[in-house]
Structure 1
Amino acid sequence: MGAAIAYSVRQDSVYEAESAIRLRDVSADLQLIGDTAPTLQDPGQAAALASDRMDDLPLARKVKNALRTPISAQALADAVQSGVELRTALVVIKIKSKTPGVAARVANEYARQASRDVIDQQRAQFARGIQTLREEFRAQRRGRDRDERNPDFDALTRSQFDQAIVRLETLRNFSRGAEVAQRATVPDDPVSPRPVRNAMLGGALGLALALMAAFTRDALDRRLRGTSEIRQELGFPIIGMMSEDGMGATGASLNGNRRPLPEPDIEAVRILRTNLAYLDVDNPPRTVAVTSALPEEGKSTVAAALALALGLSGKRTILLECDLRRPSLAGRLGLQQAPGLSDFLAGTSTPQEVLQVIPLPSEGLVASADGTQGTAGDTLVCVTAGNIPPRPAEMLDSDRMRQLLAQLRDAYDAVVLDTSPLLPVVDTMALLPEMDGIVLCVRSGQTTRDQAKALSLALGHLPTKPTGVVVTAVQPGREESYSYYSYAYGPTAKSS
């Protein structure tokens, strides 16, 4: 106990200041301009992303420059803590400092700069919507110039375009998607040290430290670990696994690719293929979108492996790369990046030019759940992303894309889409209503509870679809790995 008191006396006092920003729902404003409005994230999604970006160095540099403080941007980024109150769409910002006034000033400046960032992002989206309207207006006017009898362009049409653009410009200039909800006040009392508390803890130091270590990890670590936590947060069944060693690999050695999936993951993908069919027993999904909350969660690995497993089971399968911002399948599968999906949607390439065929290996073929068996010479058809377009969201939300999906559904037994992450961009939101099923990839030990909640909110705005979760980056031997990661199953050596 004496040691605890002495330790407390020798420690510098630390003060904590707390501010908060509120993410505002601008959907009511968007209703004024109808279908021409750009798609914006709801406050829950925006709050989760704003919280994740709070410790980014660019934001810390803005705070440093605004305060003109000698504190480094890295030190500011390390000092900030943030969390999300989803019911109120509040992002709570906490700053600790040895000086109470500094803690309050930094917390308030973080709130101000974070609000500005959200507003700037929304203004950029409105600006893109304005540009799209102007391009549509010019296109229709060019049609009028070619044929003065063009019934699609008249004074009324021009007036409608002008009104829509004026409304969008008004929203861009005056709409506020974020505001400072709570300003930090200068704290009167330090949050540490606390001599009385430390003295009491010192009386039972051994047991207390062990308990504190366990509870502190659970309280402060927002990352999801294990299938039980992931299932509880998302509310969807776990239908598959992917080990940490399997991340970035393909289902087999294809087109010279030297990094096939490890054998346990190959079996895991077969299990995923079977479980996918049971998401809807009466109508097994034929078109499936594979997505995630954020990048680097293994969605492309899972999409490629699932498509390969479906092809090896004898199904006519096509793999469609719909992540037009950060494509990766061409390099993994040894294919050409372009021409691809974006070139077809832009009308610069034909279907024959974008379809690429991958011969599938004849070994290791396994019958599917309905008893269908693949044969040597089976192929997997793949359409890579193609050249990166300037407006991928509008391209994926086009009638041409919907017509393509309908044609592929008629031509193939299985259509697998590798889509963009749901939280950073809106590209995938236009595709999900066209799907029969959804596969969500959640990286164990990386995806946070806030991201999982934002993901659930995003899916809640869409029509209900059969949805399953694949837990990725699983480490063998842990609770979530199931027995096929912990044990080997195969022929045993004969005894002499």
Structure 2
Amino acid sequence: MGESHTQMQPLLCDYDPGSDYVEAVFSLFATIRLNWESQQRSLALLLTSPSHPEEQATVAANLSIASAQSGLPTVLIEADVRHPGLSQRFGVSQGPGLSDLLLQDQALAPQQVSRYLVPTFVPHLWLLSSGTARMPHGLAPQAARLPELLQSLRRFLEEGQGQPGLLVVQGTPVLEGGDASLVGACVDQTFLVVVLGGSTRMATKKASEQLQRARAHLSGVILVQR
């Protein structure tokens, strides 16, 4: 596993409820929910960036918190196996997770997948960490299993929790390899997190083009400040 590079930026629940930041995150969540094509089926989102894992991890975590606080059952999936850190952010131990599931030989049934979901301190929010198994080549060798995993997580929400919910995938930065493109081809919507003053126009353009070549549904750009 790679060393954690995720900065301990505040989570949504650390801000004053009426702050501009909280309003911005809930506005983003409301926009996503309005554009949810079929609310009878759980929605799977990918959040990635050209090259800033820390900022995209913060956005993914806070969007997941906003979703759960709005009453939707939500699963936050740490698909960035190169920069693990979400477990630390939520104060839970780094245990088996995504990598361990993908490297198993058995089918990824909802009952099996649910054993790897860790409840967080936010009601209705579960974390699927990057896991403990080594994946030196990223997700590519197990890419064929990603749709099966996402389908099992949808069933966990729809059957186990009694209603469709939200799957938020925190992916590897696009320009660090092909993992984000692989995930983008499997989810319903993809958002590119762009850091003001940090992500160059050229890098953002290259990342957008790479996602489009992978046939990811690029739904928008999220601008953030460091």
* The one of 100, 103, 121 aligned to 1:343: 100
Asked if residue 447 in structure 1 is aligned to residue 209 in structure 2, the reply is no
1:398 — aligned with what?
144
TM-score between the two structures when normalised by the length of structure 2: 0.81
Identity of aligned residues (%): 27
Q: Which residue does the alignment assign to 1:301? A: 58
Q: What is the alpha-carbon distance in structure 2 between the residues aligned to residue 394 and residue 359 of structure 1?
A: 32
Q: Please give the residue correspondences for 1:235-384 in structure 2 after superposition, counting only pairs within 5 Å.
A: 248-252=9-13, 260-261=14-15, 263-278=19-34, 280=35, 282-283=37-38, 286-296=43-53, 298-347=55-104, 350-360=112-122, 378-384=123-129
**Alpha-carbon shift at residue 356 of structure 1 (Å):** 0.4
Task: String of CA shifts for 1:462-482, please: whole Å, max 9, x gaps.
Answer: 3252512111116xxxxxxxx
Structure with more helix by fraction: 1
Q: Does 1:465 align with 2:224?
A: no
The normalised TM-score by structure 1 is 0.38
Question: How far off its partner does 1:248 sit?
Answer: 2.0
Structure 1 pair 423–338 and aligned structure 2 pair: CA distance change class (3 A): same
Q: How far, CA to CA, are the matches of 1:435 and 1:310 in structure 2? A: 17
Cα shift readout 1:148-202 (whole Å, capped 9, x = no counterpart): xxxxxxxxxxxxxxxxxxxxxxxxxxxxxxxxxxxxxxxxxxxxxxxxxxxxxxx
- In structure 2, the residue corresponding to 1:392 is in which secondary structure? coil
Deviations 1:389-409 (A, max 9, x none): 22223245132x321111112
Deviation string for 1:337-356 (max 9, x for gaps)?
Answer: 12111112122995354210
CA RMSD of aligned residues (A): 2.3
Unmatched tracts of structure 1, length 5 or more: 1-245, 253-259, 361-377, 475-496
Distance 1:427 1:292 in 2: 12
Q: Secondary structure at the match of 1:408?
A: helix
| Partner residue, 1:416 | 168
Matched, 1:430 2:187: no
Distance 2:148 2:173 in 1: 23
In the superposition, relative to structure 1, how do residues 268 and 386 fare at CA in structure 2: closer, same or farther (>3 Å)? same
Gaps of 5+ in 2: 1-6, 107-111, 158-164
| Counterpart amino acid of residue 316 in structure 1 | P
Shift in CA distance, 449/340, structure 1 to aligned 2, threshold 3 Å: same
Query: Greater Rg, structure 1 or structure 2?
Result: 1
Find the aligned partners of 1:469 and 1:396 in 2 and give their Cα distance.
28
Q: Name which of structure 1's ranges 267-276 and 280-289 shifts more when overlaid on structure 2.
A: 280-289
**CA–CA distance in structure 2, aligned partners of residues 354 and 394 of structure 1:** 21
Find the residue that maps to 2:197 and give its secondary structure. Answer: coil
- Tell me: higher relative CO, structure 1 or 2? Use CA pairs within 8 A at least 6 residues apart: 2
Aligned residues: 203
Q: For residue 105 of structure 1, what is the aligned residue in structure 2?
A: none
Deviation at 1:314, TM superposition (A): 0.8
